[in-house]
Amino acid sequence: IRLGDDGNYTLYTGSSDMGMGANTILTQMACEALSCPMESMTVVESDTDIVPFDPGSYASSTTYVTGTAAKMAAEELREKIIHKLAQFMDVKPEDIDFDGLVGVTKDGTKKMSVQELAPKLLVGTTSEQLTGFATWGSHTSPPPFMASIAEVKVDKQTGQIIPLHMYNCVDCGTVVNPKLARVQVEGGAVQAIGMALYEDVRYSSNGRLETNNFMTYKIPTRQDIGELHTAFVESYEESGAYGVKSIGEIVINTACPAIQHAVKNAVGADVRTLPMTPEKVFMGMDEKYKV
């Protein structure tokens, strides 16, 4: 994280935001450590000419791993800024209160903003640009938890499953951004409903993929998923920054077994392969009611 000559901050990260809002999350965590508003920070991501190395945005590691590194980098930069403010105001670092934008002495007699400080650092023979750098990895991978309840309607004449409600409750540690976390849960639930009921990878006898377009490989639309209900039970994971844990993969794990048990509870069909097509459900009912 760099303090620019205009007094704003730039976060450089090797992790890629693949649509889950990682840049927003990293900015929130870094700004929390710096105590500055998010408007004061921009993000440069994934440009390997200028950003530090990152092994990849996978395994739900961005918030937990990269977020912890962002917090550590911000804390290092914060300490450097406070020391420079102390030099210019001729006081001790511990005598300064810094809110990420302005440093004020505890007696209130002196103050200096980062907009004033940044240009002063870049002139003269001892010019420098303040940066904070951190890299972090973890020997532990604290698991998130998720519980789901599926409510479905099953047509006994055809075996068709109609999702009505999906209730999801997630423990992903501290929720940094509730809106982003919610849509990630909802997106994973929709993907899981598609895996459970609609998406069928079929090959011919000679190995040719038969479901190779969206006319034959069905994915759920908004009309096919029922109503989604999401709740969070927060915990505090001490091994990372701000008590966060992962959320990315867990959200696809529960819909399939929840729907399978709902179907079994509704009509007795014990379908053990995916997708649970109407034919499989109908044959399952037929098998159950055979004498």
Q: Cα separations (Å) of 168 from 140, 253, 265?
A: 26, 11, 19
The answer to whether domain 2-121 and domain 145-288 are alike in fold is yes
Residue 291 has pLDDT above 60, yes or no: no
Could you tell me the pTM of the whole model?
0.89
CATH number of 2-121: 3.30.365.10
Q: Does domain 145-288 have CATH number 3.30.365.10?
A: yes
Q: Computed over its alpha carbons, how large is the radius of gyration of the chain?
A: 26
pLDDT band with cut points at 50, 70 and 90 for residue 56: confident
pLDDT at position 125 is 65
Q: Summarize pLDDT for 29-49 with one digit per residue, the tens.
A: 999 999 999 999 999 998 889
Q: Which two tokens mark 46?
A: 């994934």
| CA dist., res. 23 & res. 14, Å (int) | 11
pLDDT at position 46 is 86
Residue extents of the structural domains in the chain: 2-121, 145-288
Q: Which two tokens mark 179?
A: 């809106």
Q: Summarize pLDDT for 65-117 with one digit per residue, the tens.
A: 999 999 999 999 999 999 999 999 999 999 999 999 999 999 989 999 999 99
pLDDT at position 289 is 63
Q: Cα separations (Å) of 123 from 28, 120, 196?
A: 31, 6, 63
